[in-house]
Amino acid sequence: MTKTKTKTDGWPRRAAALLGMAAVALQLAAGAMTASAQAAWPSKPIRWVVPYTPGGGTDQSSRIIAEKLSVALGQPIVIDNRPGGNTVIGAAAAASAAPDGYTVFFAALSTMAVIPNLYDKLPYASDALTPVTQLVHFPLFLMVEAGGPLDTMPKFLAAARSQPLLFAIGGSGSGGHLGSELMKRQLKADMTAVPFKAMVQAAPEVATGRVSFMFADLPAALPHVQGGRAKIIATAGKTRSALYPEAPTLAEAGVGEIDFDTWAGLAVPKGTPQPIVDRLALELNKVIADPAVRAKLALIGVEPAPSSQARFTEFIASENAKWRAVIQAAGIKLE
């Protein structure tokens, strides 16, 4: 018996075809909307998360750069200070934000290369923040009491090799802390950390001789140096700092081939579209090249460090390895 075809016999195939075409159309529409959103970026204010309190060098440099970047992008940039937890609170806030280009993070040495080696567990994945580009570095200087028993590098080295010394640190795991541990290991010296909440609180203790030395940035050191109470006897950088060129490098001063400083750049939540990352890197490097921006940064003891996404990513990896070795050797661990 021959089956008579009805109007509904071909429906399953037609329905599947129609559904397939609808899915393709939706994907194309979604792709077009995403491309349109990226092309229109930025179309609203951008949040710039700073994991430090207002007023410090990191915060001030963020504001200087963000002000100029805002002009370039044509949108306001709002500084969102999220201090605490050795930068973990701010990093977690940025890492959990939507990856749409409207949240950026001022990513410093502590967050990107130190904290991952100090804590066994963090509230965000190790790759939750994508580097964009390095922006600045903060030169550190070896500061001692002016007129004290350590006020030249020969005196300092002789003391370091013959007696116990105390060094002040502005926070556990800070650049000054780890740099002091690195020098301690290099000199095979007996040196003990004396912790303070910030560099500005530690500096007076060095200036009065109650603590032997510290590695300080210029904003913390200069008031005491200019007041005649403290003296800078070396810089921790690989080369002399243009901000204080009379200070020799540690290598020049006889410590050995070690160098370090603190640094910062920009990062975004993982998954931020690459065209937005590229645009940010491009505009930020233009900002850092601006003479007016450089002059403002110099006033707060900060030097520009233009880079690229690839170089910044490689630099973070090398810094991670460098400081992991120091942290493990010093037995530093935080909970």
Candidates 199, 61, 48; CA nearest to 137 is 61
Find the helix or strand (DSSP H, E) in which 167 lies: strand 165-170
DSSP tag of 110? I
> Which residues of the chain form CATH 3.40.190.150?
46-138+262-330
- Cα–Cα distance for residue pair 136/60, rounded to 1 Å: 12
pLDDT at site 78: 99
| Cα 73 to Cα 44, 68, 156, 288, distances in angstroms | 10, 9, 49, 15
CATH architecture of 141-235: 3-Layer(aba) Sandwich (3.40)
> Per residue of the chain (335 residues), what is the pLDDT tens digit?
444 455 445 555 665 555 555 555 456 544 544 455 556 999 999 999 999 989 888 999 999 999 999 999 999 999 999 999 989 999 999 999 999 999 999 999 999 999 999 998 999 999 999 999 999 999 999 999 999 999 999 999 999 999 999 999 988 888 999 999 999 999 999 999 999 988 889 999 999 999 999 999 998 999 999 999 999 999 999 999 999 999 999 999 999 999 999 999 999 999 999 999 999 999 999 999 999 999 999 999 999 999 999 999 999 999 999 999 999 998 888 77
pLDDT at site 172: 83
> Which residues of the chain form CATH 3.40.190.10?
141-235
pLDDT at site 12: 53
DSSP tag of 211? S
DSSP tag of 2? P
pTM: 0.84
pLDDT at site 197: 84
Q: Which residues contact 305 (CB under 8 A, 6 or more apart)?
A: 134, 135, 136, 137, 263, 265, 288
Candidates 223, 214, 243; CA nearest to 137 is 243
Domain boundaries 46-138+262-330, corresponding CATH code: 3.40.190.150
- Cα–Cα distance for residue pair 108/186, rounded to 1 Å: 25
pLDDT at site 56: 84
Residue reference for tokens 């089956």: 3
- Cα–Cα distance for residue pair 145/210, rounded to 1 Å: 9
Read off the tokens for 276.
């937005």
